[in-house]
Structure formats: structure tokens, C-alpha cells
Amino acid sequence: MVEPDAVRILARADKVPPLLARIPDDAQLEKASAEQIAAAAEIIRSLIAYQISFAKITKMLHKKRPAFMPVLDSVVFDFLWKNFPHVIKQASPVEELLHLCQSILQVYIRPVGQIRADLARRGFPLSNARVLDWILWIGWRNSGFGKPIVRTWETSSLAEAKAKAQKQWETTLQSFHS
């Protein structure tokens, strides 16, 4: 974070604490309520309005609520958009991004928890939300980041890519619920 960002945050500092207070210190993304997600989204929107990047805001909020807020930088957002185009759009509201992260985490909670436990034994105590966005970032930055969505899904149109993505997610959900 650079000095102008800190100044911009301080200029909005009075708006953030009441919203942040609606998210308990120990809130977990996988168990978060719609109200908690709405409060986080309002914080993000209020700071974006003051020209602070989405990634910087979520990194800052992650420090305040590490089990609740994933770090949504350009790589993680690219993953979400290109793998869930049937759920979100590139201009989706923040709530939709957070709900999507919550859904992914809820489906993959067992493997994420196993990775988190292994990392903790090695001296890296991370939250499930942080492990999830770390996995997404590591896995996507060299395999899909920056590729057009139609190339990601090997289709000729966005509509086809959405349909393939939706079918894959539904198959994943079925396999986890069986």
C-alpha cells in the first residue's frame, strides 16, 4: 500500500468501523451470514469509491478478518469469472463474488481444511478463506490467468463457455453431495 492509499483510507475511516463491527472478529467465510457479506461489500464499495484498488481493500480486510475475507486480487477474480461465468459477470456486485467464494469454500471445505491443517503443522497458520484464495491463485496464475474465456473452455462463444462451466459445477456439486 502506498501513502496516497493510506490517506484515502483515513479519509473514509469513520465509515469503516461501524460496518466492520457487523463482522465478528472470528467470522468464518464458510459460515458467514448474508448481513456479514453485505457489510464487507459496503466497506469495499466505500473504499473503491476513493480510488483504492479492490485487491488492496480485500488484503486490508483480510488482515482484520482473516477467516472471513479472501484476498480477491486480479488472479483470483480472473479465476472466479472464467470458471463461474454462469454465476457472476465481470461487473458483478461484490456480494456476488463473496457469496461465490463462500459457496466454493463450502463445497471444498474438507480438502481445504486438510491443506490448512498441514500448513499449520509446518508453522503456517492460515484461515480456510486464505487457503482457498491461495490455492486458486497458485493454480490459476500460470494455467489460466489472462487467457480468453472461450479458450479456457475451448468454445467458440461466451454462451457455450457458460454452459460448460455450469455443467462442470453441477457435476462437482453432485459428486460432493453423493
**Which residue has cell 469503516?**
16
Distances (CA, A) of 48 to 24, 30, 43, 54, 165: 22, 25, 9, 7, 29
Residue 89: alpha-carbon gap to chain centroid: 14
**Which residue has cell 457435476?**
171
Rg (CA), the chain: 17
Q: How far apart are the first and last CA of the chain?
A: 45
d(CA 63, CA 142): 26
The pTM of the full predicted model, rounded to 2 decimals, is 0.90
Tens of pLDDT, residue by residue, the chain (178 residues): 667 666 666 666 778 889 999 999 999 999 999 999 999 999 998 887 667 778 888 998 999 999 999 999 999 999 999 999 999 998 999 999 999 999 999 999 999 999 999 999 999 999 999 999 999 999 999 988 989 999 999 999 999 999 999 999 999 988 887 7
